[in-house]
Chain A
C-alpha cells in the first residue's frame, strides 16, 4: 500500500515536472489573404504551395524565437538584426540580465505573434489592434502609400494612441523601445513579403507548380531575397526621404487667431476641403459613417458589397469561422472630443490633413497646384488646424456655416 502511494506521487510529480510543453511559437500563414486571392484568381493553393510560402518566409525571417534577416543592402538600412533579439523569443533575460521577449511581454496579447492584430484580447477592443502585415500605418509623417519612418513608429510606441487601447511605453528604456520598433518593422516587412509570395503563387504559378525549385535552391532563394524582400525593404528604406515638409505655422495675435479660426470654419464647410461630409455638420464624426477601413476591406470586400441579407449573413459566418474579426464601420473622428489619436501637436494635425490617413477613407487635402484655380494653401491648412483645435472649446449652439445647427434638429 505505501509502495503504491509512493509510486503514484512520483508519477504525478514527474508529470508535473515534465509539465506541458511550452508550445513552440509559430507564425502561421495569412489564411484570410489566401482565401481572398484564391477567390479573386479562381485558383486553389495546394498544401505544398502553402508550405513553400511558409518555408521561404522561414528562410528569410526565421521563427518567432529565432528571428533572422538576410544580408542585404536595403534591408540592413531598415531593420537592425542585432536589435531583434531583445524583442523576440520567450519573456525573460539573458546571462547579462538584459531583457528578452519584449514583444511577448508587451505587445503579443493584442497584436498577435505574427503582427496580425488578432491577439487574444483583440475581439474585445475598439478600435481593433493594428495588423502590421500590410505595411500600412495611420499616424506618420509621410504621404499615403509610403511607409512610416522609424521615428513615426517610435512616437506611437512612446506616446501610445490616445482614445484607443494602445498605451504609452514611455517608461521603458530607450534601448527596449528601439528594439520593439525594429521588431514591428520586422513583422511588417515579413507580412508584406508573405502577401507577395501568396500573390506570386496564385497569379504566376500553374496548378500545383511550386515556388521553390528544389533542384536549384540558390535561384529560388535569391529570387525571394533579391526581388521580393528587396522590393519591400526599398519602400521602407525610402521613407525618411519622403517626409512631408510642413511650412512654419504663422504667428498670430489674438485677433488674428480668431480670424484664422473663422476662415478655417468656412473651409470646413466648403466644397474644396469637404471636411463636413464625413465629420458632420456638428463635427461629431457623424457624417459618412457607412464606410470601412482598408484592413476590413482587405478580407471583407465581397461581404461589404453583398446586398442580399441571407447571403451576407452566410458570408459573415464564414469569415468569422475563418478567423476574421467582426468587421466594423470606420467612424470619422469626433472633432469635439479633443482626443487626437495621431498626436495633438499642430504638426500632427497638419500631416493628417495634408496627407490623409493611410488605410482609412480620410483623404489628403487638395493642395493648390501651379496653374490650378482651386485648392488649399499651407496657410489654409493652418486655418483648418486652428479651427479643429478650437472645436472642443466651442459651444455646440454656434455651429453651422450660416447659423446654429442643433443636434436635435438633425434627428
Chain B
C-alpha cells in the first residue's frame, strides 16, 4: 500500500471518532426517569380521576386504644454547652433592639444550668381519628382560642411553639417601633405597627415546623408548627416536656425536632429515634424519655 494511503486511512478513522466523541452530552442518570415505568404508570392511572380519591387513612387502625397514657421526658446535653451566638443588630432601630449596645444572643440553642435543652419540639404524627377512643377531648381538633405571639426589644418571646388548626395566632408588637411578621410558606408577611396586633388562623396542619421572621430586623427568628390535634409539646428551660392523654396500646409515630441539634439515637421505649422520628406503642402507665445528647456533636 502507498505510504500516504495508510496515513489517510488513519486520518479518515480518527477525524470521525474525534467528532463523534466531541458530541456526547453529559446526562446525570440519578435524575433520569424510568421511561417505560412512567408510561405504565400513566396508563394505570386510567382516565377516571374521580376514582381513587377516597383514602383509607385512619380507618386502617386495627387495634383499639386501651385508655390514655402520658409521654414525658427530658432532653439534656452531655458536655459543655457552646457559647451562645451573638446576633448582629443592624439598622436604625439599634437603640430599641439593643439599648446601650447591650449584646443580644441567639435563642437557637438554649441550654439550662443543669444541661436541659430548651426548645425541643415533640409531636405525634399518627393519623388518628379525631374523637375518642383515639383522640382525647382535651386534644380534639378544631378547638378555638387564641395563641399569643409577642415581640419585645426585637426578640420573639416564643422561640418554638405549636398550635392547633382552628386556633388563632395573635401576633402582638410590644415595641415602640414597627415590625413585620413573616411566616415561611404561608400567606403571612404583614406589618405589625407599634403597639398593635394582627391575627392569623391557619386552616391546615403542617408536616414540619416553619420559620417566623421579621424582614425589618432579619436577626429575629422563631419556629412554629400547626397540628390538627393537641398532641405536641416543647421542652421548657429545664429540658422537660409532657404530652398527656395519648391513646395507649396502638402504634404511634412521634417526631422530635430541634433547630440546631440532631435528636437521632435518643432512646424511646427501647427504640432509637431515627431521622428524627420513632414508632412506639405507649403502655397504659405511660412512658418517660431520657434523651442524652452528646455535646461533641455540636459545632
Contacts and interface: CB of A to CB of B under 8 A. Distances in A.
A145 B202 CA distance: 12
Contact of B44 (A7, A26, A41, A217): A217
Interface stretch (B65-73, B185-193, B231-239, B281-289): B185-193
B9 A4 contact: yes
A337 interface: no
A179 B208 CA distance: 37
Contacts of A374: 193-196
A220 B177 CA distance: 52
B157 interface: no
Given A7-B9, A12-B12, A366-B193, A50 B37 contact: no
A55 B41 contact: yes
Given A15-B15, A143-B187, A287-B91, A271 B194 contact: yes
A70 B49 contact: yes
A179 B258 CA distance: 46
Interface string B26-40: 011111111101111
A42 interface: yes
B47 A272 contact: no
B155 to A, nearest CB: 16
A272 B49 contact: no
Contacts of A58: 33, 35, 38
B27 A26 contact: yes
A363 interface: yes
A218 B44 CA distance: 5
A244 to B, nearest CB: 12
A55 B45 CA distance: 14
B269 interface: no
A42 B275 contact: yes
Contacts of B37: 55, 212, 214
A332 to B, nearest CB: 9
A222 interface: yes
A291 interface: yes
Interface in B171-191: 176-178, 180-182, 184-191
Nearest to B18: A15
B16 A14 contact: yes
B156 to A, nearest CB: 15
B33 A144 contact: no
B42 A68 contact: yes
B91 to A, nearest CB: 6
Given A15-B16, A277-B92, A375 B189 contact: no
B56 to A, nearest CB: 10
Contacts of A217: 40-41, 44
B30 A50 contact: yes
Interface in B188-242: 188-198, 207-208, 215-218
Contact of B49 (A20, A40, A73): A73
Contact of A222 (B4, B23, B52): B52
Contacts of A364: 189-191
A40 to B, nearest CB: 7
Contact of A1 (B2, B28, B45, B55): B2
Contacts of B189: 144, 356, 361-364
A218 B46 contact: yes
Interface residues of A, number: 83
Which residue, of A16, A70, A226, has the highest number of chain B Cβ atoms within 10 A? A226
B176 to A, nearest CB: 7
Interface in B230-275: 262, 264, 275
A273 B35 CA distance: 53
A274 B9 contact: no
Interface in A130-182: 143-146
B52 A219 contact: yes
A374 B22 CA distance: 67
B20 interface: yes
A70 B45 contact: yes
B80 interface: no
A4 B23 contact: no
Nearest to A50: B30
A226 B52 contact: yes
A11 to B, nearest CB: 5
A277 B175 CA distance: 15
Contacts of A365: 190-191
A23 B189 CA distance: 43
Contact of A56 (B23, B38, B275, B276): B38
B194 A288 contact: no
A54 to B, nearest CB: 4
A343 interface: no
A51 B33 contact: yes
A81 to B, nearest CB: 13
Given A363-B190, A366-B193, A28 B42 contact: no
Given A199-B207, A221-B42, A375-B196, A15 B33 contact: no
B193 A271 contact: yes
Interface in A281-335: 287-288, 290-291, 294, 297, 307, 311
A118 B4 CA distance: 50
A28 B199 CA distance: 41
Contacts of B11: 8
A20 B45 contact: no
B5 to A, nearest CB: 5
Which one of A12, A15, A56, A311 has the highest number of Cβ atoms from chain B below 10 Å of its Cβ? A15
Contact of B215 (A26, A54, A288, A372): A288
Contacts of B188: 144-145
B196 to A, nearest CB: 4
B101 interface: no
B90 interface: yes
A230 B52 CA distance: 12
A288 B184 contact: no
**Which 10 pairs between the two chains have the least Cβ-Cβ distance?**
A361-B215, A145-B187, A222-B52, A274-B178, A29-B31, A217-B44, A363-B180, A20-B23, A54-B33, A221-B45
Given A4-B12, A272-B193, A363-B181, 13 more contacts: A4-B2, A42-B275, A54-B34, A55-B33, A68-B42, A72-B49, A143-B187, A145-B185, A220-B44, A222-B45, A272-B191, A274-B193, A277-B178
15 contacts: A11-B15, A41-B276, A50-B30, A55-B37, A145-B187, A274-B178, A274-B180, A277-B93, A288-B218, A290-B90, A361-B180, A361-B216, A364-B191, A365-B190, A365-B191
